[in-house]
């Protein structure tokens, strides 16, 4: 198919799906509720199947969009998530002759020359490339010989460029209809991620960094990069195996506790976001595997969509944490501005509306407990925040938080599959306690000085004076074990509330700014 034909087909399919829902919405008031529900379910299945067929036929970005949609079990109708989940396993690849030519071009020699063996049948096929198993002629230092080689499809860059033009046009139309959603931010971030994923050197560096972060914890498995066989279009990693995280029956047959899998998954992301400040932004089921046994191991693959939290953002988050903990609404507003959540046009202006939104949010969710959170659904949160943020039109979401929101939202969806009774905040609670009691977390804020200590713990004025005196005279302070325990308990409670707030905000961003 010619490139212009791809654009026409993408636009035509999008138009058909949109019009089908529009027509049903016009007709539905004339019929009983049960009839409307039945028709809507049938339309969901029809449109999901249409999208699946289009994605399989066109490949490229349509596969990527479909995989993203299939992971949104907490948002999309079941017909969509079940139908599009086929894109996790059944993405058609390209003939081996094209892969053979690409490897020869990139690595300077044919596969049979470079490797002891090379399987022509791919292990997996993705949106931009496919993965083949190979055996090295010489083992790595740890005796590893099996590798997984991801090879980029020929001409994929031209295809992506064409698809993006069509998607931009669709987004332009959607922006006119749904003016409250910042589709421009979404498409900008999507394009950035896509271009990064087309550079396998960048992905290799991500994989190497991610591997080092989890090197000391054998519950998490990250493959290693084999640099001599890696270029911008060919990525070679040590081969890892496991049961796909959403193959629930297979996991159960292997004696794996699905609840334990959910807990391990959440812990890994708490470490990535709160401790390592470097996280995997694409936790769909095709990128996560489980190795049964003791310990239970979580396997990560595909490192094209990673995000680092820079020092400026980290410091801004920590300052905003303190403001949230202390119910300091003006400081929270300033923190949101510093973090880039408020457009430049409103900076320096009247922030009364923003402070009203923040105050509502604080009153509604600040003191949330695990028990109370169980009664609140993600939909409730989206509706509450949607109503409040709609009165403040200058809200915008920085790129980092879009990806973080997407990751946490997908994480929430996966956890709901693994354990329908799972609550992402409750699962994160134990890690919040550990995070609060380490220098990498809020204790790091305590170490910064007397002002933060007094703000965070609301110390009596006399104690604050004592801290000022000791700071100036070199006097060392001492706390009993009981005092330390009480302090850490209070810090934990505050950290837990912040963690709840952060997760709620990220999931809301995922719902509001990645819906399309």
Residues with catalytic annotation?
282
Q: How many residues does the chain have?
A: 516
Q: How far apart are CA 290 and CA 162, in angstroms?
A: 37
Which residues sit opposite 300 in a β-bridge?
288
Q: How far apart are CA 440 and CA 322, in angstroms?
A: 15
Residue reference for tokens 């081969």: 239
Q: How far apart are CA 467 and CA 453, in angstroms?
A: 9
- Other C-beta atoms closer than 10 Å to the C-beta of 186 total 21
Cβ neighbourhood burial of 18 (10 Å; 0-12, 13-18, 19+): middle
**Nearest one of 44, 45, 63 to 54, comparing CA atoms:** 63
Cα 304 to its chain centre, rounded Å, is 12
Contact 403, 281 (CB under 8 A): yes
**What are the backbone dihedrals phi and psi of residue 289, each rounded to the nearest 5 degrees, phi first?**
-130, 160
Structure tokens at 42: 């049938």
DSSP-derived secondary structure for 341-370: -B-GGGTTS--HHHHHHHHHHHHHHTT--H
Return the H-helix or E-strand segment holding 481: helix 481-513
Contact 173, 236 (CB under 8 A): no
Rg (CA), the chain: 25
**What are the backbone dihedrals phi and psi of residue 302, each rounded to the nearest 5 degrees, phi first?**
65, 100
**Nearest one of 122, 126, 123, 106 to 114, comparing CA atoms:** 106
Three-point CA angle 208, 209, 212, nearest 5°: 90
Q: What is the 3-state secondary structure of 279-321?
A: EECCCCHHHEEEECCCCCEEEECCCCCEEECCHHHHHHHHHHH
């Amino acid at each position: 198919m010619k490139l212009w034909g791809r654009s026409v087909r993408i636009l035509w399919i999008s138009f058909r799906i949109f019009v089908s829902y529009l027509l049903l919405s016009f007709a539905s008031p004339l019929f009983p509720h049960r009839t409307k529900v039945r028709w809507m379910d049938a339309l969901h299945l029809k449109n999901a199947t249409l999208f699946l067929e289009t994605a399989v036929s066109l490949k490229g970005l349509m596969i990527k969009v479909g995989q993203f949609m299939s992971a949104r079990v907490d948002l999309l109708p079941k017909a969509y998530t079940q139908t599009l989940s086929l894109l996790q396993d059944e993405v058609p690849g390209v003939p081996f002759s094209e892969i053979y030519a690409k490897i020869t071009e990139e690595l300077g020699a044919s596969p049979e020359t470079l490797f002891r063996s090379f399987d022509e049948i791919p292990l997996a096929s993705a949106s931009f490339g496919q993965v083949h198993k190979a055996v090295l002629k010489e083992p790595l230092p740890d005796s590893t010989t099996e590798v997984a080689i991801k090879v980029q499809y020929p001409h994929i860059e031209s295809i992506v460029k064409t698809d993006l033009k069509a998607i931009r046009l669709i987004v332009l139309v959607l922006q006119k209809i749904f003016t409250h959603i910042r589709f421009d931010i979404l498409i900008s971030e999507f394009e950035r991620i896509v271009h990064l994923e087309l550079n396998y050197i960048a992905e290799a560096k991500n994989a190497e960094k991610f591997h080092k972060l989890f090197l000391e914890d054998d519950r998490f498995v990250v493959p290693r990069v084999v640099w001599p066989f890696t270029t911008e279009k060919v990525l070679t990693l040590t081969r890892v195996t496991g049961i796909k995280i959403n193959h629930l029956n297979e996991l159960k047959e292997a004696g794996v506790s699905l609840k334990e899998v959910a807990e391990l998954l959440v812990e890994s992301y708490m470490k990535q976001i709160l401790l390592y400040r470097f996280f995997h932004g694409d936790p769909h089921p095709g990128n996560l595997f489980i190795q049964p046994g003791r310990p239970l191991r979580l396997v990560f693959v595909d490192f094209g969509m990673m995000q680092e939290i820079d020092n400026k953002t980290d410091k801004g988050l920590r300052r905003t944490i303190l403001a949230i903990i202390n119910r300091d609404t003006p400081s929270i507003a300033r923190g949101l501005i510093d973090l880039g959540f408020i457009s430049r046009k409103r900076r320096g202006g009247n922030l009364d509306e923003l402070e009203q939104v923040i105050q509502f949010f604080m009153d509604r969710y600040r003191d949330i407990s695990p028990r109370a959170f169980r009664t609140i659904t993600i939909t409730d949160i989206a509706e509450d925040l949607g109503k409040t943020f709609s009165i403040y039109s200058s809200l915008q979401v920085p790129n980092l938080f879009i990806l973080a929101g997407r990751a946490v939202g997908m994480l929430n969806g996966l956890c709901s599959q693994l354990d329908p009774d799972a609550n992402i905040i409750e699962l994160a609670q134990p890690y919040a306690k550990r995070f609060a009691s380490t220098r990498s977390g809020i204790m790091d804020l305590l170490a910064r000085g007397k002002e933060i200590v007094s703000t965070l713990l609301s110390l009596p004025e006399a104690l604050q004076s004592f801290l000022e005196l000791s700071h100036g005279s070199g006097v060392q302070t001492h706390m009993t074990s009981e005092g330390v325990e009480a302090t850490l308990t209070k810090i934990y409670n505050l950290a837990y509330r912040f963690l709840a707030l952060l997760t709620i905000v990220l999931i809301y961003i995922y719902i509001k700014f990645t819906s399309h």
